[in-house]
Amino acid sequence: MLTEFFVMNRTDKDAMQMLLLYKEFSEYFVWSPKEKMWTRRKQRTVIGRVVTCHPKKGERYYLRLLLMNVRGPKSYQDLRKVDGKCCSTFREAAEKRGLLHCDNNLVECISEATNYQMPYSLRRLQATLLVYCNPANPTELWKQFEDSMSEDFKILPSMNAKDIRFMALNHINDILHLMGHDINEYNLIPEKIKPSVVARETNDCQFERNIIVREEDLLLERKLNTEQRKAYDTILNRIFSNKSGAFFIDGPGGTGKFFLYRALLAAVRSKGFVSLATASSGVTASILPGGRTAHSRFKFPIDIDEQYSCNISKQRALATLIRDAKLIVWDEVSMAKKKVIETFDILIKDLMDTNALSGGKVVVFGGWLEVLHSRRNNSNVVAENTLHTDSFVKNQKELELYYNTRLLIRRFCNFVDSCLSKSGLQTKAGKDLKRSTYLCDVADHNS
């Protein structure tokens, strides 16, 4: 399409006389995809538009800039010609034509983006322009599009104009840090900007309060087995009767602990309440709806010692979020150190101003008590640091799941059995699979 535009400027009389910009060309000519050529437009007025291009695309961006400003070019070389001399790059040509001496091209770039990009993307674009395009007046560039770039923060409650501005600037600063720069290099505002933990935390907490519950999660309640249903009803009755409680969902893999968590989280969130989903490992946290690692959510350090105490201020947004939570789920808790659990208990009691178990909240721990936490070069000290020895566990109500749904799926057993047979492995796993197949036979017989 573009090369045929050059051809038309060399061969078509009308095109040669009109000296059109590339974006104007479709107003007078129509492109035929089958014949791959331009023909004169006979009816219907249209508005031409050139596909946008991000500044970090380099030469492609400067080619677009030239096409938007140079009339009637006959070739790529013609675009690069300035005062009879052919420049080696499109950027050099744009510089010599004076297109980069002011910020008009950057203003146009952001202005176009505001028509279809979200504020988050606009802030990323602003950071990219600051780093790669060296705007002549970055302050004016920010002032001109400040409202568009901070629009998503305006919906947050109790936020004044200054707070909104700094939240947007802090986000731009975070992006610039990933690029090896700092926002204070560009003097967007007179004040120095420091990375704001509070600003990021407020946005994060707002996201937590607005998690959308998927319809499929709401239907999980109907699929619970007898053991899961008993645990589900017990926990929800405690939540909606405004009573506290600490529960431990104990069971090996395949008994449906994760399935139960999803059903509980969906039930509470669907009624407009806050539920915090956490896990000891990042992998498990990533598959929990709205999940975070316990270290990330409650701000525990990775290496926690005996002298550590949690330092979440009661005035912080995170503290308010934890206080408002109707349910806290913590999976794989048996992999955590005893000190982490003790610190969590102290934190909840401190934020809730009570010495009641679990701070008067409903907390659901989960895992398999036969699993110990990971520790390199461990000795007997491992047992002393596990959840098993903590008095906190002894005060919890244990809800055990025995019914292993994986073993009762015949296709799963047959599939794993066939994999072992093909690999020629004769291990204890093979015997376990035979026992699993036997369980399938028993289940089929009983049904």
In angstroms, the CA 229 to CA 221 distance is: 8
Domain match, 222 and 360 both: yes
171, part of any domain: yes
Is 176 in the same domain as 247?
Answer: no
Report if residue 224 sits inside a domain. Answer: yes
Whether residues 377 and 239 share a domain: the answer is yes
State how many domains the chain has: 4
> Where do runs of H (alpha helix) occur along 134-211?
138-149, 161-178, 197-209
Are 297 and 334 part of one and the same domain? yes
Same domain, 240 and 384: yes
DSSP label of 389? G
Same domain, 86 and 125: no
pLDDT of residue 95: 79
pLDDT given for residue 446 in this prediction: 44
Q: Are residues 282 and 249 in the same domain?
A: yes
Which domain does 149 fall in, by range? 104-195
Task: Identify the pLDDT of residue 146.
Answer: 93
- Is the same domain home to 222 and 368? yes
* Locus of tokens 């009641």: 356
Cα dihedral: 249, 283, 306, 345 (round 10)? -40
Residue ending a domain, among 41, 74, 96, is 96
User: Is the same domain home to 348 and 374?
Assistant: yes
Domain boundary among 64, 96, 128: 96
Q: Is residue 208 part of a domain?
A: no
Phi, psi dihedral angles at 197 (to 5 degrees): -65, -35
Strand pairing category for 325-331 and 274-279: parallel
Boundary (domain end) residue, out of 195, 227, 247: 195
- Classify residue 202: in a domain, yes or no: no
- Looking at residue 233, its pLDDT comes to 94
Contacts 24+ apart (CB under 8 A), 86-91: 89/59, 89/62, 90/59, 90/62, 90/63, 90/65, 90/66, 91/58, 91/59, 91/62
Question: What's the predicted TM-score (pTM) here?
Answer: 0.50
Residues 242 and 293 grouped into a single domain: yes
* CA separation for the pair 24, 15 (Å, rounded): 11
Contact (Cβ atoms closer than 8 angstroms) between residue 438 and residue 407: no
Structure tokens, 16: 């040669």
CATH of the domain at 331: 3.40.50.300
pLDDT attached to residue 376: 58
Domain-located, residue 209: no
Q: Could you tell me if residue 203 is inside a domain?
A: no
- pLDDT computed for residue 58 by the predictor: 75
Q: Is 272 left (phi over 0), alpha (psi -120 to 50) or beta?
A: left
DSSP single-letter state for residue 136: S
Within-domain flag for 118? yes
Given a cut of 50, the residues of the chain with pLDDT beneath it are 199, 382-383, 389, 426-433, 435-436, 438-439, 442-447
Residues 280 and 191 in one domain: no
In this structure, is residue 205 part of a structural domain? no
387 and 241: one domain? Answer: yes
| Dist CA 383 CA 388 (whole Å) | 8
